[in-house]
């Protein structure tokens, strides 16, 4: 059996394995879960006011429908060999999300919940994850592993807010935007340090990233205790909210177009990155040095310079993500305020297979998990008389990530030269 046939067989086996999982899960929903749910009507609302759209359903009936659909997709994955199976598995994943929402409302004393704020909050919570993942994408597409995203984000958040407090005490105005630029520069500076150690000195890139994280933790903690605490800078004016004319007044989706600047910049950054990476000469060079740096060098590409540029660009994006925490959302800075977002961004990067739009989708999926955890708390969901911890559902995206990468879409294959120090010939 040749290599291509073997890969196709392994891929098909993975699809079938995931199909079996869907099949079993669907049968459990129909046979055991649906009868346990109350048969009283519940409602999903889409919008506010008396004219808001609403979907009324009975949890038991909805669960049976979702279970049967999962059984159908599971059977199709087991017996069918066409590409449509992958689409069916994606729909099956969406049905799993819908099942979580139905179960949350069924186990809550509330009879209705508004899904529009949930999805808007998902996008906003996913925005810093997306920026962190984009930072990692630029670095790793050039062949440099970036475990230091968390540190670069933390440096942007801390140094940017310290600069803001020193300039005008956090009173807003032009110094606020200057502080954002300083946060971006701080992320770029930490990325330059990572590039120096990884590209020029050729140290282990994992160790270099860990060193960047530890340096950021220590430096920002020092700045907080020695600068922010004496200044009593525990509250500051944040970036103002912007509204897109006309679009912000649309029913249902209008809330997506009323947000703060860095949230909007997230989508601009992804659109620009997708264009530059695939449609420009420099983007081609970044991809080439990440795949085969020796071949790129023979074609006249300066591998060292391109890697420095890509890593520093990623660091600047990570610094912008840090500014989103301290300067756009909270208006203060606390130790470790990024709370592991950089590491979640790495998971989203792998989920999206180092491609801009799938990375964005994966990031928003993690944002949805966080928003769903908050909604679970608001709904007072109980299982067996005990409140359901929101941390339980926050683990769901990681489980789904492992299932998807191992089953439906196969193994996530990074750039070929990632993690390999480059030595110029001669």
User: How do residues 328-387 score in pLDDT, each as one tens digit?
Assistant: 999 999 999 998 899 989 988 988 889 999 999 989 988 888 888 888 878 888 777 777
**Token couple for 64:** 């049976």
Assigned CATH for 116-390: 1.10.3470
Residue 308 to residue 306: CA distance in whole angstroms: 5
Domain ranges for the chain: 3-106, 116-390
Structure confidence by residue, pLDDT tens digits, 148-197 = 999 999 999 999 999 999 999 888 899 999 999 999 999 999 999 999 99
Radius of gyration in angstroms for the set of CA atoms belonging to the chain, rounded to a whole number? 24
Contact, 56 vs 111, CB < 8 A?
no
- Over the stretch 78-117, which tens digit does the pLDDT of each residue have? 776 555 555 666 777 788 888 988 988 888 888 888 998 9
Residue with tokens 């998902």, as numbered in its chain: 122
Q: Which two tokens stand for residue 344?
A: 């979640």
- The three-state DSSP-derived secondary structure of the chain is CCHHHHHHHHHHHHHHHHHHHHHHHHHHHHHHHHHHCCCCCEEEEECCCCCCEEEEECHHHHHHHHHHHHHHHHHHHHHCCCCHHHHHHHHHHHHHHHHHHHHHHHCCCCCEEEHHHHHHHHHHHHHHHHHHHHHHHHHHHCCCCCCCHHHHHHHHHHHHHHHHHHHHCCCCCHHHHHHHHHHHHHHHHHHHHHHHHHHHCCCCHHHHHHHHHHHHHHHHHHHHHHHHHHHCCCCCCCCCCEECCCHHHCCCHHHHHEECHHHHHHHHHHHHHHHHHHHCHHHHHHHHHHHCHHHHHHCCCCHHHHHHHHHHHHHHHHHHHHHHHHHHHHCCCCCCCCCCHHHHHHHHHHHCCCCHHHHHHHHHHHHHHHHHHHHHHHHCCEECCEECCHHHHHCHHHHHHHHHHHCCCCCCCCCCCCCCCCCCCC
pTM, 2 dp: 0.90
How far out from the chain centre does Cα 137 lie?
A: 12
Q: Note the pLDDT tens digit of each residue in 31-88.
A: 999 998 888 899 998 877 677 788 899 999 999 999 999 998 888 877 765 555 556 6
pLDDT (average), residues 275-288: 96
Q: Measuring CA to CA, which residue among 74, 293, 109 is closest to residue 199?
A: 293
Q: What is the per-residue pLDDT across 186-238, written as a single tens digit (0 to 9) for each?
A: 999 999 999 999 999 999 999 999 999 999 999 999 999 999 999 988 889 99
Nearest to 127 by CA among 258, 330, 320: 320
Beta bridge partners of 258: 243
d(CA 104, CA 381): 6
Q: Which two tokens mark 186?
A: 């701080």
- The answer to whether residues 319 and 186 touch, using CB atoms and an 8 Å cutoff, is yes
pLDDT of residue 1: 46
Ranking 52-61, 193-202, 267-276, 298-307 by mean pLDDT, the lowest is 52-61
Closest C-alpha among 100, 85, 102 to residue 20 = 85
């Amino acid at each position: 059996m040749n290599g291509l046939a073997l890969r196709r067989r392994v891929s098909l086996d993975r699809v079938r394995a995931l199909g079996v999982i869907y099949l079993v899960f669907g049968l459990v929903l129909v046979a055991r879960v649906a009868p346990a749910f109350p048969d009283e009507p519940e409602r999903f609302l889409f919008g506010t006011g008396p004219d808001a759209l609403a979907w009324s359903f009975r949890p038991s009936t909805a669960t049976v429908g979702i279970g049967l659909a999962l059984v159908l997709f599971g059977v199709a994955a087991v017996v069918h060999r066409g590409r449509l199976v992958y689409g069916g598995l994606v729909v099956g994943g969406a049905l799993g999300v819908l099942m979580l929402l139905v179960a949350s409302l069924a186990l809550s004393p509330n009879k209705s919940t508004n899904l529009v704020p949930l999805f808007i909050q998902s996008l906003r919570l996913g925005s810093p994850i997306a920026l962190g993942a984009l930072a990692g994408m630029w670095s790793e597409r050039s062949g440099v592993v970036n475990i230091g995203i968390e540190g670069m984000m933390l440096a942007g958040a801390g140094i940017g807010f310290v600069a803001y407090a020193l300039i005008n005490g956090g009173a807003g105005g032009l110094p606020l935007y200057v502080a954002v630029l300083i946060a971006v520069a701080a992320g770029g500076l930490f990325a330059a340090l990572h590039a120096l150690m990884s590209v020029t000195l050729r140290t282990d890139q994992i160790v270099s990233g860990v060193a960047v994280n530890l340096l950021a933790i220590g430096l920002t903690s020092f700045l907080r205790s020695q600068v922010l605490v004496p200044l009593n800078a525990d509250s500051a004016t944040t970036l103002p909210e912007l509204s897109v004319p006309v679009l912000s007044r649309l029913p249902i989706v209008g809330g997506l177009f009323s947000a703060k600047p860095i949230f909007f910049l997230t989508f601009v950054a992804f659109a620009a990155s997708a264009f530059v990476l695939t449609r420009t000469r420099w983007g081609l060079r970044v991809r080439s040095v990440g795949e085969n740096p020796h071949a790129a060098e023979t074609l006249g590409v300066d591998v060292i310079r391109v890697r420095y540029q890509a890593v520093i660009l990623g660091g600047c994006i990570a610094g912008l993500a840090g500014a989103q925490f301290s300067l756009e959302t909270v208006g203060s800075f606390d130790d470790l305020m990024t709370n592991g977002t950089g590491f979640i961004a790495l998971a989203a990067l792998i989920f999206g297979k180092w491609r801009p739009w799938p990375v964005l989708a994966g990031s928003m999926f993690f944002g949805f998990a966080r928003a769903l955890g908050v909604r679970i708390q608001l709904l007072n969901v109980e299982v067996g008389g005990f409140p359901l911890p929101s941390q339980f559902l926050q683990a769901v995206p990681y489980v789904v990530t492992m299932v998807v990468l191992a089953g439906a879409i196969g193994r996530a294959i990074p750039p070929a030269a990632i993690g390999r120090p480059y030595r110029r010939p001669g």
